[in-house]
Structure formats: structure tokens, C-alpha cells
Amino acid sequence: MVELPTPRRGEDPYLRVTDLRVRFDTEDGVVKAVDGVSFAVERGRTLGIVGESGSGKSVTSLAILGLHNAKRTTISGEISVGGRQLVGLREEEIRRLRGRDMAMIFQDPLSALHPYYSVGRQIAEAYRVHHPRAGKREARSRAVDMLGRVGIPQPAKRFDQFPHEFSGGMRQRAMIAMALVNDPDLLIADEPTTALDVTVQAQILDLLADLQAEFRSAIILITHDLGVVSQVADDVLVMYAGRAVEHGSVERVLRAPQHPYTWGLLSSVPSLHGDADADLVPIPGNPPSLINLPSGCAFHPRCRWAGVNGDRSRTEIPELGPAGAPGHLVACHLPVAARERIYRDEVAQVGVAR
């Protein structure tokens, strides 16, 4: 067994991802699914990763858990969980961490739960894998306890039921119970509420917040729904075509966004407030192919302000740099003054960006 470095200080973020790159070899070419993404999450904090399909948000989370097929995937960069470096670690060692120190809640609980085994048995199994000395009875009582904690009524009776006997919201609760059964310090929730109705979504988001307050876990919440992010996240990372385009506190990113893509997302979401008859302002065009990314800033073909700097947006990839407030980063070639003027005069007037 390799010697694991001890965490340096208690203050250090629990998860630190540095310059992560994930590539897949396919018949059509190399897919650069994640291309140089860095972020950190402290215990007790929630990071929301926002982006459209194909932006690399799910690939990032699977890379943290070491769930990519090593034969077809090239991963570089650093992933440090509780002070341990994960990239390049052997499968058996990652397996020891996965489920115990870090756990995942998947989007679709019906396909993530095994239909032939009772819900309780699956949760107890997750416990026994990491507690080899625990007996059946102990695992069962632990699983029943967790089912009760996530708000499933009559947990002892529900233990023996099968996934098809649970409703959508109850299944997602069972998934959360399974993820939390070993008290993980890092919880990754990949679109945990997308398959659910709004009233049930509200229940699940409240549950996650309550559990976080209790266990002080670090949470990564992956979603395409800016509304969900505004409710539960402390920090936001906006991804586009495998790169981070904006990163900062939720107040900064949603109240004073700096990247034209974030502006586009905010003004294209229908809202319950504001003028219902005003047209939404969509982002023109479609997301790019990850095999053949546009040169320079990947967003430039869809950006209304790509021409402000001459050819720079088409030739040079923008680096993530400071955007005014401390901790707020943006990857855009627009000069700060121009960005603030455009946001104030052209963007802030429309849609929910107000």
C-alpha cells in the first residue's frame, strides 16, 4: 500500500482539483471533455457546477470518483481529496475511498438502483463493503436508521421493499441514504432533482441542506438549473465546452455576472418575475462539438461581443483571471471596463439578470 500524505492543515479545502484534463479516444477523434478545470470545495460548503449538456460537468464529477474507463480515458491534472492525490492511484485504492470518503447521488434513481434487490439490502451492502467486520444485523439497523434520517416513513418496513414499490421522490431519498450511509466527507450530486417534480424537488433540496448542516460534508451539485443553484450553492462554477468560464460566490456570479455565456444563460431562463410578455433573449447557435472546438475562446461563435477586441477572441484562449471582487474569476478577453459597461447598459435590462 502506498503511503498516503497526511492533510496539511484543517483549514485546507477538502477537495482540490487542479488543472484537470479528461480526454476520450473515439473513432472520430479525441474528445476533450474537460480541458484544464480547477476548483476547490471546503467542508460544509456547496459548489454548484452549471453548464449545458456536453459542457463537461458530469465528466468532471466522474473523474473525481475515478469512474471513467481507464482504457479509453486519459486523465491528467491533480485531484486531491482530504489531502490524498487521486489521479494515478490504483483502482483498489480508489475503491476503498469511493463510497466511504466520497459518494455520489445519481440523476435517475430508477436506473441507479438494482431492480432485483430490496432497497434496504442495497444500502446495507454499501455499508458492509466498507465495514467488513459489521454483521448483517448491524448493517441492517444502520440502513434502517439512514432511511429514517432521509425522511422515509416506516423505514423498517420499507427496508424490504423493492425500488419499483417506491415513488420517484422516495427513490431519490433512498439514493441519498445509500450515499450517506458511510458518512462521506464529499458528496457529489449529479442533477439530483432533474427527474423529479417541483414540489418533490423542494423537499430533496431541503433535505440535502439539512444533512449538510448535520454532517458538514462538502457538496458538489451539478445542474443545468440556475434556479436550483441560486437556492443551495455557496459558490458557482460555470462551464462551457469543457472549460471553466466563470467562478465565484453565488452572489457575484448570479448578481454581477461577468462572462457573456453567463449573461446568456441568465437572460434565457424564463422567470416568475418581470415582464412575462417580453421576449426571452436566447444564446444564438448551438454548443460546439468537443472534438473540433472553435479556435480561441470556445464561446466566440455564439458571443455578440467577440469582435470587440479585434481577432483576439478567435485566436487566443482566454485564461481564468480576476473579475473585480475577491474570489471572482472569469475567462473572457473583454476589458473589465467594457464588460461592466456592456453588462450595465445592454444585459442587466433584460430577463432575470435584473
Partner 1 sequence: MNGVTNGQAAVAGDAGRLAGEPLLSVRGLTKHFPVRQGLRARGAVRAVDGLDFDVRPGETLGLVGESGCGKTTTGRMLVRLLEPTSGSIMFAGRDITHGGRRELRALRQDLQIIFQDPYASLNPRHTVGRIVAMPLQVNRITPPGGVKKRVQELLELVGLNPEHYNRYPHEFSGGQRQRIGIARALALKPKLIVADEPVSALDVSIQAQVINLLRDLQRDLDLAFVFIAHDLAVIRHFCHRVAVMYLGKIVEIGDRDTIYTRPQHPYTRALLSAIPDVTTLGPAGRIRLTGDVPTPLNPPSGCRFRTRCWKATDHCATEEPALTTRDDGGQLTACHYPESGPVGVPTGEPGSNERT
CA distance 191 to 223: 5
Q: In what order do the strands lie in the sheet with 325-330?
A: 102-105, 186-190, 218-223, 46-50, 235-240, 243-249, 325-330, 321-323
Judge whether 144 and 155 are in contact, CB under 8 Å: yes
User: Taking CB under 8 A as the rule, does residue 53 contact partner 1?
Assistant: yes
Q: Which stretch binds partner 1 (CB under 8 A): 7-15, 83-91, 194-202, 330-338?
A: 194-202
Could you say which of 119, 220, 265, 331 contacts partner 1 (CB under 8 A)?
265
Could you say which of 7, 44, 83, 168 contacts partner 1 (CB under 8 A)?
168
* C-alpha angle 111-116-117 in degrees, rounded to nearest 5: 95
Q: List, in sequence order, the alpha helices (H) in 69-225.
A: 91-97, 109-112, 119-130, 136-149, 155-158, 168-180, 198-215
Could you say which of 139, 254, 303, 329 contacts partner 1 (CB under 8 A)?
254
Closest CA to 227 of 204, 257, 250, 261: 250
In the bound state with partner 1, the residue whose beta carbon lies nearer, of 98 and 252, is 252
Please state the closest distance from residue 299 (CB atom) to partner 1, in A.
11
In the bound state with partner 1, the residue whose beta carbon lies nearer, of 138 and 251, is 251
Please state the closest distance from residue 213 (CB atom) to partner 1, in A.
12
Distance of CA 273 to the CA centre of its chain: 27
Map grid coordinates 462538502 to a residue.
218
Contacts of 119 (CB under 8 A, 6+ apart): 113, 147, 158, 159, 161, 162, 163, 166, 174
In the bound state with partner 1, the residue whose beta carbon lies nearer, of 16 and 243, is 243
User: Taking CB under 8 A as the rule, does residue 169 contact partner 1?
Assistant: yes
User: Taking CB under 8 A as the rule, does residue 272 contact partner 1?
Assistant: yes
Could you say which of 6, 279, 310, 326 contacts partner 1 (CB under 8 A)?
279
Q: Which stretch binds partner 1 (CB under 8 A): 40-48, 134-142, 157-165, 262-270?
A: 262-270
User: Taking CB under 8 A as the rule, does residue 232 contact partner 1?
Assistant: yes
User: Taking CB under 8 A as the rule, does residue 161 contact partner 1?
Assistant: no
User: Taking CB under 8 A as the rule, does residue 253 contact partner 1?
Assistant: no
Distances (CA, A) of 353 to 29, 255, 326: 38, 7, 21
User: Taking CB under 8 A as the rule, does residue 301 contact partner 1?
Assistant: no
User: Taking CB under 8 A as the rule, does residue 110 contact partner 1?
Assistant: no
Give, to the nearest 10 degrees, the angle between helix 198-215 and helix 168-180: 20
Contacts with partner 1 by CB under 8 A lie at: 52-53, 151, 153, 167-170, 197-203, 205-206, 209-210, 224-228, 230-232, 250-251, 254-255, 264-266, 268-274, 276, 279-284, 286-287, 352, 354
